[in-house]
Structure formats: C-alpha cells, structure tokens
Amino acid sequence: MTLSTHQTGAGIERVGVAGSGIMGTGIAELCAKSGLDVRVAVFSEASLVSAPRRLAASLERGVARGKLTAPERDAALARVSFTRDLADLADRQLVIEAVKEDEQLKLELFATLDKTVEDPDAILATNTSSIPVVRLAAATRRPGQVLGIHFFNPVPALPLVELVSSVLTEERVGERALVFVRDTLGKKPIASPDRAGFLVNALLFPYLLSAIRMVESGLASAEVVDQGMEQGCAHPMGPLRLADLIGLDTTVSIARAMYEEFKEPLYAPPPLLLRMVEGGLLGKKSGRGFHTYT
C-alpha cells in the first residue's frame, strides 16, 4: 500500500464498531462526527447503558471546549446506535474490531464477523495495538479484506492512524482504507509493518518498560521519572502516566506480544508491572496505577 494515492471517495457510509470501551466509543464518535452511520456492538447489558453515556459525555466535552456546536453534538449522537447482537452489523461496509487485547477473543470475533457481514466488498479491520494482522485475517474466509486500522487514545484528538496491511491484504483494500482514514475521517495515516507492535508501539514500549524498571529498581519514583521527561524533554505526558492512560493490563498484553515475536529482553514486562495488574491496579481506568486518579 502506498500513501501517495490521490483517489477520492472510499464509498463507505455505514460503519460498525465491535467493542464499546474507550477505544470503541472513541472510534464511533469520530465516525459519527464525520457524517457516517455508526452501529456499535457491545458485549454486555451494562455496556448498553455505559457506552452511550461515555459517548454523550465526550461529545458534551467537545461542546464545552468550543470544538463542537450543540446541533453538531446532537447530529453525531443521532448517527450512532448500539446493539448486543453482532448480526446487526450485517449491512456494514466497514467493521472495526476494538475489543480488549486478547488474541483468542479477537480470533473468535473475526470468525463471527466473517459469517455475519454480508457485503462481499466489506472491509474487516482491527484496532489491535500489537497482534499481527495476518493471524486475525486467517480466521476469516476473506483474508484479503482484513487489515489494521490502528487509532491512538484519545481517538477524537490524536491525528495519527497506523494502516497495517498483511501479506494477504489486497492492494485495493489498503487503498480504500487509506482514502477513508485520510479523506473521510481527516486523520493522518502512515503505513506500518505487520509485526507485533507495528511502528509506533515498537518504538514506544521499550521506553515505557524502561521507565517502569527504573521505578522497580528504586532509582526514582514514578513522579520524578514523569517530571524528568515532561520538564526535561518537553514530553506532554511522562512515561508512567502514559502507561496508566493506556491501561497497565493493555501494556502487559502489548509487551508480551512483542516479546513473543522478537524475544528481546527490552520488550519483556517487568515483574512490578505484572504484580500491579494481578492486584487490579490497571491505571487511570481503575483509579490507581503508578499514580492515583479521582
């Protein structure tokens, strides 16, 4: 896939999102604000309540910050529906998987989506942070129509999107996804290799894990490490606060996937990180990680 195409119009108007966590609702919000018909599949009754609330709260913050008008907020909300039945994604032209970073869960979901989505030209995309796309594509009967569309958190705010074509992805599918991300969503796509961690996380995670090892060894506190990188290197967020934002459980999953692929010690999750996750300290989403959140 090349990023130099000037093709216009991806022909995608109906988008499905499988998963309703922070990333799933962020993707749904972005698509809705781009004028698309969005249907979000959730996986629990509780999520049928919490996901719409999360979406509405995010849009309301956009209004409060002057980035959206009230009518734009209302129009975006009206474009999004929620369902517990994956069969309701049957008419979608693009489905983006955004469930937790669990390979078996994603494989089962892609196998189901392959049987559910009726459009023979539909794109099945994954928002995985670390799992090679070709593994997920192999769970379907249309591996040429599977690719990675990897957004970053918070989805509505961060401009970059990694586009990851596997060795099986058809070129026309990659080009269509590129046009969709660039022209319809207004994001800045880059082509990333189909390997664990892709491009951004392959660079980012050795840094995050090194910061955790520094805290683990007692060389410095999380607060001091973060201050050093924020105030000494002009990073908008220190590495421990960033790991908390990503989610420490997700950080473990990504680190394990990269270590499994490359067997390099710099990718191995430190024992302190493993113990924190085992203890339920997952970062911002649980209220406590390397920092405490209220």
The active-site residue, picked from 47, 58, 127, 129, is 129
DSSP string, the chain: --S----------EEEEE--SHHHHHHHHHHHHTT-EEEEE-SSHHHHHHHHHHHHHHHHHHHHTTSS-HHHHHHHHHTEEEES-GGGGTT-SEEEE---S-HHHHHHHHHHHHHH---TT-EEEE--SSS-HHHHHTTSS-GGGEEEEE--SSTTT--EEEEEE-TTS-HHHHHHHHHIIIIIS--EEEE--SSTTTTHHHHHHHHHHHHHHHHHTTSS-HHHHHHHHHHHS--SS-HHHHHHHH-HHHHHHHHHHHHHHH--GGGSPPHHHHHHHHTT--BGGGTBSSSB--
Residue with tokens 């983006």: 96
The active-site residue, picked from 130, 192, 201, 253, is 201
Decide the pairing of beta strands 123-126 and 94-97: parallel
Whether 162 is catalytic is yes
189 token code pair = 């796509």
Whether 50 is catalytic is no
The active-site residue, picked from 162, 165, 192, 253, is 162
The active-site residue, picked from 20, 127, 150, 253, is 150
Whether 127 is catalytic is no
Whether 201 is catalytic is yes
DSSP string, 105-130: HHHHHHHHHHHH---TT-EEEE--SS
Catalytic positions are: 129, 150, 162, 201
